[in-house]
Structure 1
Amino acid sequence: MPASARKLAVLPAAPVAPAPNSLPVSRPTMPRAEQVLPYLQAMDAAGWYSNFGPLLMQFEARLQARFSDGAQVVTAGNATLAIGLALKAMGLQPGARVAIPAWTFVATAHAVLWAGYRPWLIDVDPATSMLDPLATESALADAPGPVDAVIPVMAHGAPIDLDAWVLFQARTGVKVLIDAAAAFDVLDRGPLPAVVSLHATKALGVGEGGFFVSRDPVLNEAVRRMTGFGFMGDRVATIASTNAKLSEYAAAVGLAALDGWPGVRERYMRVAQRLRLALMGRPDAAFQPGWGLTWVSSVCVVDLPAGSAATLADTLAEAGVATRRWWGEGCHREPAFAEYERAAVPVTDALARSQLGVPFYSTMSDAEVDHLASSLSQALDRL
């Protein structure tokens, strides 16, 4: 390396002064070290650190107890892996076409490709930002070929009509897997297989992790086998698989997170309700139906005047308020998926220009909520 290049390489970056009243778009809520410690001590006492140890079994049992219909839980290293493994376990044809919403996080499409299938990106309903079962059924007639499965996404953790999707599956024969990555708070039944994320940014997080849930014991066993080299209580690899287990360390964090979940949920709801009240007079800043009233997640997504998201993001940044377009321009705009089939997606395109993630976290102070509401109102007035 030339001397000049070496000299440039060690020059410190120019300091960037933080904006006044800076508000981050998110702050993860994770258990504190002292809350996790008793579980770590139990792990050390058992001498079991991975491979479906006692803490993981306890964690899965407590997650499973949240489901009112006897659905079973299988943990995995992350939700993207869990979606891919679930698709594999569902017995789709090699190279099968899987319908997914264009309006979703890229992990949904990545999981389909990782599992060896082809995503077909289709449009969502403007009222819910999610796939509609009747509209999806109609879209099948115009599909570029047979569709073996569909992955409805619970947008930013919002409730979904599970029973309507059960009927869709019965009518069409197309298998349904629910991407419930952000929906830990609301998903409490398992009539259809679903995957929940336990990433640190989610309402209940372990750092990296996820879980699969369903009432189908055969499917549950297949997913479990796939998380551990194809083993199932022995050392015989019965199927080609991978290593997607959740460790005892992650389970320790998860157990501590479950201990604190009622209080964390209450704080999320309090912050959400204060923000709703602060923006009550702004019909041009609409929240997802029921958000902060009957359900909550770790993010706040606001519907804004058509096409205004980018402008408002810039204006809010000037006020020190960070924002995030959580799903970018939509999966169909991502270079990684450019070659894959898609339907016309005008609703997705409109949502990408009109929805914006704004600061929201369980530890948000009243002053921070008020600053956000005031800054957003002023930014809207400037449109």
Structure 2
Amino acid sequence: MIPLLDLNAQYEQIGADLEAAVLRVLRSGRYILGEEVAEFERNFASYCGVRHGIAVNTGTSAIHLSLVAAGIGRGDEVITTPFTFVATVAAILYAGARPVLVDIDPVTMTLDPALVEAAISPATKAIIPVHLYGQMADMDPLLMLADRHGLVVIEDACQSHGAEYKGRRAGSLGLSGCFSFYPGKNLGACGEGGILVTNNEALATAARCLRDWGQQERYHHVAKGFNYRMDAIQGAVLGVKLTHLEDWTERRRSHAGAYDRLLGGNPTMQLPTALSDRRHVYHVYAVRSRERDALQASLASAGVQTGLHYPIPVHLQRAYADLGYRRGDFPEAETAARQVLSLPMYPELTPAQIETVAAAVARDIHVH
């Protein structure tokens, strides 16, 4: 079986360094926040090209915290995409705001800037573009729209560590950028983790306070905050892994290039489009096929594990039916949800494994 993701392969390479970092934390007796987390915050912010990093317990918390620290709450509207993991929309609801969904561009499957302006109302306060699968949304027109209407832009960069748009790193273009360190991400913790990065001093100060129960100093609560602190073990683990991120990213990009060569020219399948003004970091390698379910079954029978990111758009999830949207409201998102299939993608993939996956795809196409 060729897995969709192989975290054991990563551990085999850097396990000794991870164990040493964890042991260092265990021996320190300081298990929440602390210098391990602070050092990682500094290094990751620098990696993103911004001044401040505020480490938290999940990517979802990073988005929620960004909204609250920006003063967005009850009665406000926030524009985002229906083609994302539900956490993007959930975080808006946590803040007390109303998610307003806008369809995607069919090429990048990210928020379509051409459709956003029509969704802006007097209650709109923010836009959250999602940098999907490792490629950034089209930020310039979104930032211009936001500037014209006095809106905040918060980047959901949970899938795009190290991605770039016109030479600028994900997380550095909006008021803040939000990242997840869920274990399967390009930079993953050994557990849960997240961070928000920003150049805005006031936002950074507010977010640091809010993540730790609204304390400015111990037991002095100046705001109604949250328990969103990062564990020191995760800070230490991420510090080790961050030193490998660029190498891992280039390997992902190389693997994607190999897939492109082996799968190109197939009229029944659409490959990921890596735009020339962006650096795609391939959190997943998602192809599109009208016969997606049959292709997935065929690959499974050939010993190739695949994934669906995401088979049901947010507006059609039962839990979010109260947003008031119906089937047909976002045709591009709904079509993508029926067609996308993620092939195995992780830095340790071998050329032989990639060739095996491509051959299995070719056999399925020949059969159909």
Residue-by-residue CA offset, 1:322-355 (whole Å, 9 max, x unaligned): 2221112211111110110338201111111121
Distance 1:281 1:56 in 2: 47
Distance 1:133 1:270 in 2: 30
- Tell me the amino acid that sits aligned with residue 118 of structure 2: S
Distance change >3 Å, CA 75–CA 308, structure 1 → 2: same
1:82 is aligned to: 62
- State yes or no: 1:261 paired with 2:245: yes
- Tell me the amino acid that sits aligned with residue 140 of structure 2: D
RMSD after superposition = 2.3
2:116 is aligned to: 136
Q: Is the 8 A contact 1:120 1:342 kept in 2?
A: no
- State yes or no: 1:147 paired with 2:129: no
Distance 1:270 1:102 in 2: 30
Q: Is the 8 A contact 2:310 2:340 kept in 1?
A: no
Q: Is the 8 A contact 2:212 2:225 kept in 1?
A: yes
Q: CA deviation at 1:190?
A: 1.6
Aligned partner (choices 157, 172, 181) of residue 180 of structure 1: 157
Residue-by-residue CA offset, 1:35-74 (whole Å, 9 max, x unaligned): 1234335435643221x31111111111111133x44211
- State yes or no: 1:23 paired with 2:23: no
Fraction of identical pairs, as percent: 26
1:273 is aligned to: 257
* TM-score, normalised via structure 2 length: 0.89
1:358 is aligned to: 343
Map 1:86-235 → 2, pairs under 5 A: 86-140=66-120, 146-187=123-164, 188=169, 190-192=172-174, 193-206=176-189, 207-235=191-219
* SS of equivalent residue, structure 1 residue 339: helix
Q: Is the 8 A contact 2:292 2:339 kept in 1?
A: yes
1:320 is aligned to: 303
Q: CA deviation at 1:229?
A: 0.7
Residue-by-residue CA offset, 1:91-148 (whole Å, 9 max, x unaligned): 12414222221111111112122222222222111122111223211233xx6x7322
Distance change >3 Å, CA 353–CA 229, structure 1 → 2: same
2:34 is aligned to: 53
Q: Is the 8 A contact 1:191 1:215 kept in 2?
A: no
Distance 2:250 2:156 in 1: 25
Count residues in correspondence. Answer: 355
Q: Is the 8 A contact 2:100 2:119 kept in 1?
A: no
* SS of equivalent residue, structure 1 residue 338: helix
1:286 is aligned to: 270
- State yes or no: 1:43 paired with 2:20: no
1:9 is aligned to: none
Distance 1:38 1:61 in 2: 21
1:16 is aligned to: none
- Tell me the amino acid that sits aligned with residue 340 of structure 1: L
* SS of equivalent residue, structure 2 residue 144: helix
Aligned partner (choices 323, 330, 333) of residue 348 of structure 1: 333
Q: Is the 8 A contact 1:317 1:323 kept in 2?
A: yes
Distance 2:204 2:35 in 1: 19
* SS of equivalent residue, structure 1 residue 98: strand
Q: Is the 8 A contact 1:72 1:214 kept in 2?
A: yes
Q: CA deviation at 1:163?
A: 3.0
Distance change >3 Å, CA 170–CA 49, structure 1 → 2: same
